[in-house]
Amino acid sequence: MLESILQTLMGAIGSLGFAIVFNVRGQRLFFAFLGGGIGWGVCCLAGICWPNNEALCYFIATTALALYSECMARILRCPSTVMLVTGWIPLIPGGALYNSIAALVAKQMDEFVHRTLHTIFLMVAMSAGILLAMTIVHILSFCRKKNRSGYKK
């Protein structure tokens, strides 16, 4: 448990660093830091619930992060990508990509293909999480606008 808390804190600090590099300013900097912590924290919690399904953990974490990004974009009046990209940094499967390239360099083609497909699967799961969250937000936004305008069939 302590390891998960430490990893979450380090993920948040990594997001803070990238937020500084991306020139995020003011209170948005804190919320970018928080987004990185939320993304990796949810991934760690999902890993406890589903220890043998890494792609599902990444999907859940990215969905939570994208929902957070959309909410914060409306609160802070900034593009959702400001929070999404900086919060996504800890979730990028760099270790999986490194292992893929290491297998390629070692000329272990079966291992390279296996690890590369695993990395691609993680990235597809993350993309699907973002797509799901943004679709939910846009549907809710559409319904809200429709109700405000008094549109009736």
| Mean pLDDT (10-residue bins), the chain, 153 residues | 92 96 94 96 95 96 97 93 93 93 96 96 96 95 80 59
Which of 32, 38, 34, 31 is closest to 19 using CA atoms? Answer: 32
Q: Strand, helix or coil at 64?
A: helix
Euclidean distance between CA atoms 80 and 69, whole angstroms: 5
User: Would you state the pLDDT for residue 153?
Assistant: 56
The CA-atom distances, in angstroms, between 83 and each of 43, 53, 74, 101 are 17, 26, 11, 30
User: Would you state the pLDDT for residue 152?
Assistant: 60
User: Would you state the pLDDT for residue 132?
Assistant: 97
User: Would you state the pLDDT for residue 43?
Assistant: 96
Give, in degrees to the nearest 5, the angle at Cα 49 between 139 and 3: 110
